[in-house]
């Protein structure tokens, strides 16, 4: 058995009752914060320093565009590289928004576009990129008094950026913004440089990808660089996929921005993934490992009525009931009076008839639609009885026992020849009555017998239990096992019917086809044209067989459940080995369920609760998602993990270039996705297993893994290396858009 929440030793009968309510986390997502005013002071300062000693530094990352002045120590702007443009038809006006401003308006949100190709650091939408640059220059307060951007620009780009991509950017910077000069560099190398790195292995895990770049004497060995196509954005998409699969009917809205925050807030890199994973859904400590994200919801409002109101409503109901009763009583009374009048009338008629001649009486009877005097007699009797009944009911007098007189069967003995036509009719009627009467008596007797049989059975059962408890229990146990098997079989059948190709489904389809066809195949084969369908009761079972879905087998299911319950109750009562834990209910209880622990954490789930329906439980995902960078195959990425890449670079690809040890002494982590707390430790331990034991491995993190790229670029922008690497406007116009100058921190021409 795999380790899981099913471990009984860690579990009392109901441990969760004492569990405190879970700590709820609210989901966070990118949102509009506030209007950012233009900041012309930086530009003024830059102007006073002159373009030799000031530059606009733009860290053009796929998660954020960070822009600021080279002489300052932090970027002024952090913009998500998104853009939205739409036209409000009502007022005939176009709107453009950049960055988080897009989230201020729902229409704008709908038109959102990203500058970068999804999951890569390559700009693919240049209209968006231009708008972002517009925004940057507006907010930096550039007034364009000299007709363009009169400050040099330093920009970061992806490792091995595509020539087309670089060319387009260069074109924009020089043609559209008329910048005096432009220099490109690689973000992670700027970060390394800023942290005083000289020789080492730069591991940069960022939003769209992870790069490993060996650096020798401050010069990047780009030919040995390696990219793993996994970063923060892919992690977010992966988590989104997992959550959607985990909660397919989740009512809240999920997006990848929320996932990014969830990864940041709740996920962590496991120090020993397989070991931690094996006990992750165990009962002990699941409260701490299971993080609950509560999405906004609206509670269904149940209006609580006050005592007074309830009383009033009850009174009202009673009142209307009384009124109805009164009405009914009145109607009954009227009916009674009418009936009494009728009765009087018929009595009167009867007495009149008895005095009249036969012919006259016949005439009177015909006028009343009566056949003969007997009929009149019957009518009177009936009326009398109903009146008496009604009266007792109304007045509440003693219930008069309905006299069940043995009907008159006198005519049955008389042969037909001796009877006239009316007599024969009467006889037929009596025969019918008699068979009716006898059938009723038979049914009564049978009922009695059945009762006696049940009582006898119970008695025998009890006797058996007293005499042979073990045998009796065994019988029960077997019966219970049979029932459980039956329930399981039914479940399996139901599941099989869901599958079109299963044997059960095919049999069902066969039956349907057979029923629908005019000449059923079976009958014809036997050469018997007589369709005696239905003669055998089992024939009708075919309809139960073909019915699926809602309500097809509810009755029987109830029945099985009920008999299982009684059996289990018996066993509980008499079998010392059979405890609460053994009942089917307890065994299928949520506390035993791994799936429950996975989906709903260590607490019971109330399907009716809106709050719980809007909860996400993060447990295994918390370590599963960050782990992908070490084992990309988890997310189906067919690339080597970060440790394997690093080991390959260090042991094979750098052979003969420089001593391994130099690189190992400085393994440098940067980028937002490397912020997981045990990232460095995992990398170090992973490499330790792949390298000779005497090698010294040192890892270190950037001071600020997110901002150091910008800071490094800003620092570099003032120096001599920058002056040598920047391409001026004149050079651009002379040598073309693809002209570039290689330098230590930038890409090489390819």
Residues between 698 and 737 that touch another protein (CB under 8 A) = none
Stretch that binds another protein, among 72-80, 198-206, 434-442, 587-595 (CB under 8 A): 587-595
Q: Which long-range contacts (CB under 8 A, 24 or more apart) does 572-580 make?
A: 574/465, 574/469, 574/472, 574/473, 575/473, 575/476, 575/477, 580/13
How far lies 129's CA from each of 70, 79, 125, 173, 672, in Å?
21, 12, 6, 11, 22
Is the distance from CB of 701 to CB of 669 less than 8 angstroms?
Answer: yes
CB-count exposure of residue 244 (10 Å: 0-12, 13-18, 19+): exposed
* Contact call for residue 142 and another protein (CB under 8 A): yes
Distance CA 513, CA 274 (A): 53
**Three-state SS for 481?**
helix
Q: Residues 229-268 vs another protein: string with x where CB under 8 A?
A: x--------x--xx--x--x--------------------
Could you report how far apart the first and last alpha carbons of the chain are, in Å?
A: 57
Select the residue interacting with another protein from 203, 225, 263, 745 (CB under 8 A): 225
Look up residue 684 and give its two tokens. 């170090």
Which CB sits closer to another protein, 177 or 679?
177
Q: Restricting to residues 424-443, which ones interact with another protein according to CB under 8 A?
A: none
Select the residue interacting with another protein from 594, 613, 675, 695 (CB under 8 A): 594
Instruction: Give the nearest distance from C-beta 562 to another protein in angstroms.
Output: 24
* Contact call for residue 1 and another protein (CB under 8 A): yes
Q: Residues 600-639 vs another protein: string with x where CB under 8 A?
A: --------------------xx--x------xxxxxxxxx
Q: Restricting to residues 8-67, which ones interact with another protein according to CB under 8 A?
A: 35
Select the residue interacting with another protein from 46, 77, 149, 745 (CB under 8 A): 149
Q: Restricting to residues 194-213, which ones interact with another protein according to CB under 8 A?
A: 211
Q: Restricting to residues 58-77, which ones interact with another protein according to CB under 8 A?
A: none
Instruction: Give the nearest distance from C-beta 248 to another protein in angstroms.
Output: 7
Instruction: Give the nearest distance from C-beta 116 to another protein in angstroms.
Output: 10
* Contact call for residue 148 and another protein (CB under 8 A): yes
Distance CA 557, CA 486 (A): 10
* Contact call for residue 160 and another protein (CB under 8 A): yes
Select the residue interacting with another protein from 204, 226, 583, 673 (CB under 8 A): 226
The set of residues, in sequence order, having a beta carbon less than 8 Å from that of 354 and lying 6+ positions away, is 361
How far lies 414's CA from each of 417, 421, 438, in Å?
8, 13, 20
Q: Restricting to residues 492-521, which ones interact with another protein according to CB under 8 A?
A: 495, 498
Q: Restricting to residues 88-107, which ones interact with another protein according to CB under 8 A?
A: 90-91, 94-98, 101, 104-105
Stretch that binds another protein, among 374-382, 384-392, 433-441, 594-602 (CB under 8 A): 594-602
Number of residues that bind another protein (CB under 8 A): 99
Look up residue 590 and give its two tokens. 């949520």
Select the residue interacting with another protein from 23, 44, 164, 559 (CB under 8 A): 164
Select the residue interacting with another protein from 125, 257, 505, 552 (CB under 8 A): 125
Instruction: Give the nearest distance from C-beta 681 to another protein in angstroms.
Output: 20
Which CB sits closer to another protein, 101 or 708?
101
How far lies 187's CA from each of 77, 158, 524, 637, in Å?
17, 7, 82, 24
Is the distance from CB of 185 to CB of 707 less than 8 angstroms?
Answer: no
Which CB sits closer to another protein, 461 or 491?
491
Q: Restricting to residues 645-664, which ones interact with another protein according to CB under 8 A?
A: 645, 657
* Contact call for residue 748 and another protein (CB under 8 A): yes
How far lies 547's CA from each of 219, 485, 502, in Å?
75, 22, 16
Select the residue interacting with another protein from 182, 201, 215, 281 (CB under 8 A): 281
Burial 308-341 (b: 16+ CB within 10 A, else e): eeeeeeeeeeeeeeeeeeeeeeeeeeeebeebee
Distance CA 122, CA 117 (A): 6
Q: Restricting to residues 314-333, which ones interact with another protein according to CB under 8 A?
A: none
How far lies 295's CA from each of 28, 288, 622, in Å?
10, 19, 18
Distance CA 203, CA 670 (A): 6
Instruction: Give the nearest distance from C-beta 633 to another protein in angstroms.
Output: 4
Instruction: Give the nearest distance from C-beta 473 to another protein in angstroms.
Output: 28
Distance CA 173, CA 130 (A): 9
* Contact call for residue 162 and another protein (CB under 8 A): yes
Instruction: Give the nearest distance from C-beta 23 to another protein in angstroms.
Output: 22
Distance CA 210, CA 748 (A): 19
Which CB sits closer to another protein, 635 or 745?
635
Distance CA 364, CA 349 (A): 8
Stretch that binds another protein, among 84-92, 283-291, 515-523, 725-733 (CB under 8 A): 84-92
E-strand stretches of 283-436 = 291-294
Instruction: Give the nearest distance from C-beta 693 to another protein in angstroms.
Output: 20
CA count, 13 A, side-chain hemisphere, 739: 16
Distance CA 671, CA 702 (A): 8
Which CB sits closer to another protein, 54 or 620?
620
Select the residue interacting with another protein from 46, 57, 77, 159 (CB under 8 A): 159
Per the listing, tokens 């058995």 go with 1
Look up residue 215 and give its two tokens. 């650096």
Instruction: Give the nearest distance from C-beta 487 to another protein in angstroms.
Output: 14
Distance CA 504, CA 686 (A): 52
């Amino acid at each position: 058995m795999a380790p899981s929440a099913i471990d009984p030793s860690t579990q009392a009968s109901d441990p969760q009752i004492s569990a405190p309510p879970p700590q709820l986390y609210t989901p966070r997502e990118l949102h509009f914060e506030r209007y950012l005013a233009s900041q012309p002071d930086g530009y003024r300062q830059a102007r006073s320093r002159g373009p030799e000693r000031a530059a606009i530094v733009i860290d053009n990352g796929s998660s954020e565009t960070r822009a600021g002045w080279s002489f300052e120590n932090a970027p002024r702007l952090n913009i998500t590289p998104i853009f939205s443009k739409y036209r409000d038809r009502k007022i005939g006006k176009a709107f453009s928004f950049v960055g988080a401003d897009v989230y201020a308006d729902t229409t704008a949100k709908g038109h959102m576009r990203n500058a970068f190709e999804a999951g890569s650091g390559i700009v693919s939408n240049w209209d968006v990129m231009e708008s972002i640059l517009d925004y940057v220059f507006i907010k930096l307060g550039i007034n364009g008094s000299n007709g363009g951007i009169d400050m040099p620009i330093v920009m970061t780009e992806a490792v091995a950026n595509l020539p087309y991509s670089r060319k387009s950017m260069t074109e924009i910077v020089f043609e559209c913004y008329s910048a005096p000069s432009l220099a490109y560099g690689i973000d992670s190398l700027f970060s390394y440089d800023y942290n005083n790195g000289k020789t080492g292995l730069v591991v940069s895990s960022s939003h769209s990808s992870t790069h490993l770049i060996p650096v020798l004497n401050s010069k990047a060995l780009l030919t040995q660089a390696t990219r793993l196509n996994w970063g923060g954005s892919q992690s977010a998409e992966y988590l989104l996929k997992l959550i959607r699969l985990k909660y397919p009917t989740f009512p809240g809205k999920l997006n990848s921005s929320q996932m990014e925050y969830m990864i940041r807030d709740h996920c962590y890199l496991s120090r020993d993934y397989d070991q931690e994973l094996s006990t992750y859904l165990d009962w002990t400590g699941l409260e701490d490992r299971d993080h609950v994200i509560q999405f906004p919801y609206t509670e269904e409002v149940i209006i609580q009525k006050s005592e007074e109101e309830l009383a009033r409503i009850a009174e009202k109901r009673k009142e209307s009931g009384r009124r109805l009763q009164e009405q009914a009583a009145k109607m009954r009374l009227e009916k009674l009076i009418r009936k009494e009048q009728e009765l009087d009338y018929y009595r009167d008629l009867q007495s009149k008839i008895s005095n009249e001649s036969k012919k006259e009486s016949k005439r009177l009877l015909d006028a009343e639609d009566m056949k003969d005097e007997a009929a009149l007699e019957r009518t009177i009797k009936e009326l009398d009885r109903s009146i008496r009944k009604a009266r007792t009911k109304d007045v509440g007098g003693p219930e008069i026992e309905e006299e069940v007189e043995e009907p008159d069967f006198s005519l049955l003995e008389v042969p037909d020849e001796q009877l006239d036509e009316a007599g024969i009719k009467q006889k037929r009627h009596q025969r019918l009555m008699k068979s009716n009467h006898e059938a009723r008596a038979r049914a009564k007797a049978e009922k009695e017998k059945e009762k006696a049989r049940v009582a006898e059975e119970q008695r025998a059962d009890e006797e058996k239990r007293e005499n042979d408890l073990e045998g009796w229990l065994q019988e029960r146990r077997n019966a219970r096992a049979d029932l459980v098997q039956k329930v399981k079989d039914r479940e399996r059948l139901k599941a099989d019917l869901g599958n079109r190709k299963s044997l059960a489904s095919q049999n069902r389809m066969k039956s349907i086809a057979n029923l629908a066809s005019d000449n059923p195949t079976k009958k014809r084969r036997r050469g018997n044209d007589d369709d005696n369908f239905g003669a055998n009761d089992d024939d009708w079972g075919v309809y139960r067989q073909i019915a699926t879905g809602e309500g097809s087998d509810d009755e029987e299911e109830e029945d099985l459940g009920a008999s299982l319950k009684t059996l289990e109750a018996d066993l509980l009562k008499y079998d010392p080995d059979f405890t609460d834990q053994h009942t089917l209910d307890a065994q299928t209880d949520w506390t035993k369920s791994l799936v429950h622990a996975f989906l709903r954490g260590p607490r019971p789930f109330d399907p009716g609760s809106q709050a719980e329906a809007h909860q996400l439980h993060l447990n295994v995902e918390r370590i599963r998602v960050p782990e992908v960078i070490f084992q990309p195959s988890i997310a189906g990425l067919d690339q080597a993990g970060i440790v394997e890449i690093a080991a390959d670079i260090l042991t094979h690809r750098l052979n003969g270039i420089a001593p391994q040890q130099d690189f190992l002494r400085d393994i440098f982590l940067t980028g937002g996705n490397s912020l997981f707390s045990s990232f460095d430790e995992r990398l170090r331990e992973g490499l330790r297993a792949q390298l000779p034991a005497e090698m010294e491995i040192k890892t270190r993190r950037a001071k600020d893994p997110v901002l150091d790229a910008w800071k490094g670029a800003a620092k570099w922008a003032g120096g001599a290396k920058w002056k040598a690497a920047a391409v001026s406007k004149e050079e651009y116009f002379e040598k073309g858009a693809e002209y570039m100058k290689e330098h230590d921190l930038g890409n090489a021409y390819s």
